Amino acid sequence: MEIGLLSMQRVNNYGSFWQAYCLKQIIENDLESFHSNTVEFIDIIPGKEDTRTKFKPSFSLEKLKKIPYYIHQKKKKKIFANSQREVLGCSNKANYKADYDAIIIGSDEVFNFVQKSPWGFSPQLYGNIKNNHVSSYAACFGFTTLFDIEKYGVSDTIRKALSNLRQISVRDQNSADIVERLTGIIPEIHLDPVLVGDLPNFSLSADVLGRYILVYSYDFRLTDINIIKQVKSLARKSKCKIYSVGFYQEWCDKNIIVNPKQLIDYFFSAQYIVTDTFHGTIFSACCHKKFVTVIRDTNKHKLHDLLLRLNMLDRLVTNQDNIEQVLVKDIDYDSFEKLRQNEHNRTKEYLRKCLSKKNRS
């Protein structure tokens, strides 16, 4: 079969990169009855109905003070372009074709049109595609709410697009609730592809890198004084450096630019990990590390949902908690791996349904 995967593969984000990679690998390699699958990534068609949430570059004197950050960003953009081409197989030319045997939308926040993006609001991401064999896998509305959907007047557009899907899968309860409210369809809930797929082998070692605490948070976002003090205190006690890997944090000992493969190497070799992101949490768990996930009002719902499904709610912390006390606790990774295997099997069964010639059940 020739399969199109409509994902976030062009986004210069490590989580977006690896979820696209892992879903592609599962479809190509893990579905025993579909071993002849050829998977191509489809690009997102910019929205025409509503561009109020479209990203618009801006300039300010404040940004001029962040020259090291912008140098960091420029290098990272080039690195991602190379990895998207060499590892994911993305061509330099956008692919908008729809005549595939089947199309899968997902994973990541493909349903989250409120986030600022180069494409604005694109009905294509919800299923408005000229193909009768379209499904979603672990799609997410992110922080988009039903109120937002009604506020921007896109309820009917999204409802109609979602109703075109043969199978609907989301990755969290909030997304499931929105789909059910809009369409009356109860979607399946699956884990992110990184959790049910396979990341590449690791190549770096702690002996080469030295001992370090890895900080994984979007640029300039982890700035709470209490968190910084606690991380620095643990670094002194454990004789570790503090590395911000992939993103820029002024207070860390090093800000390290890496390609997506190297990022996983750094996760694997870290002594401890402090993150406040969805995929940072997933990378930490997949590498069997001691970690904490910092929550705030803007991320608490999706991170709570994720760690609830992984039976790791005890890794959630706020800026008021004793982070060191949580970081040093052991994690039951035997149970985690059993859960991953069970969810991997569920994912394969679901994707078989998506690729079958039968009508939606």
Backbone angles phi, psi at 6, to 5 degrees: -90, 105
Query: In this structure, are 172 and 275 located in the same domain?
Result: no
Q: Using alpha carbons, select from 71, 170, 93 the residue that is nearest to residue 126.
A: 170
CB burial readout 180-219, b (16+ within 10 A) else e: eebbeeebbbbbbbbbbbebeeeeeeeeeeeebbbbbbeb
Domains: count for the chain: 2
Contact, 267 vs 290, CB < 8 A?
Answer: no
Q: What angle separates helix 14-25 from helix 278-286, to the nearest 10 degrees? A: 60
What digits encode the pLDDT tens for the residues 139-189? Answer: 999 999 999 999 999 999 999 999 999 999 999 999 999 999 999 999 999
Q: Using alpha carbons, select from 188, 199, 197 the residue that is nearest to residue 136.
A: 188
Distance of alpha carbon 40 from alpha carbon 107, whole angstroms = 15
pLDDT score for 325: 93
pLDDT score for 360: 44
Q: What angle separates helix 173-183 from helix 155-163, to the nearest 10 degrees? A: 90
Backbone angles phi, psi at 116, to 5 degrees: -70, 135
What domain range includes position 217?
A: 206-330
Query: In this structure, are 159 and 274 located in the same domain?
Result: no
- Write the CATH number for 309: 3.40.50.2000
Residue 24: how many other CB atoms lie within 10 Å: 24
Query: In this structure, are 283 and 350 located in the same domain?
Result: no
- Cα–Cα distances in angstroms (integers) from residue 92 to residues 18, 44, 85, 259, 338, in the given order: 19, 14, 8, 18, 40
Query: In this structure, are 160 and 218 located in the same domain?
Result: no
User: Residue 153 region, left (φ>0) first, then alpha (ψ -120 to 50), else beta?
Assistant: left
CA atoms within 13 A on the CB side of 193: 31
pTM to 2 decimals? 0.91
Instruction: Tell how far CA 56 is from the center of its chain.
Output: 22
Query: In this structure, are 61 and 131 located in the same domain?
Result: yes
Query: In this structure, are 165 and 310 located in the same domain?
Result: no
Query: In this structure, are 167 and 226 located in the same domain?
Result: no
Contact, 18 vs 194, CB < 8 A?
Answer: yes
pLDDT score for 37: 72
Q: How many residues does the chain have?
A: 361
pLDDT score for 361: 43
Radius of gyration of the chain (CA): 20
Q: What angle separates helix 173-183 from helix 300-309, to the nearest 10 degrees? A: 110
Q: Could you give the 3-state DSSP secondary structure of residue 33?
A: helix
Contact, 6 vs 105, CB < 8 A?
Answer: yes
Query: In this structure, are 324 and 349 located in the same domain?
Result: no
pLDDT score for 210: 86
- Which stretches of the chain score pLDDT less than 50? 51, 59-61, 64, 360-361
Query: In this structure, are 50 and 187 located in the same domain?
Result: yes
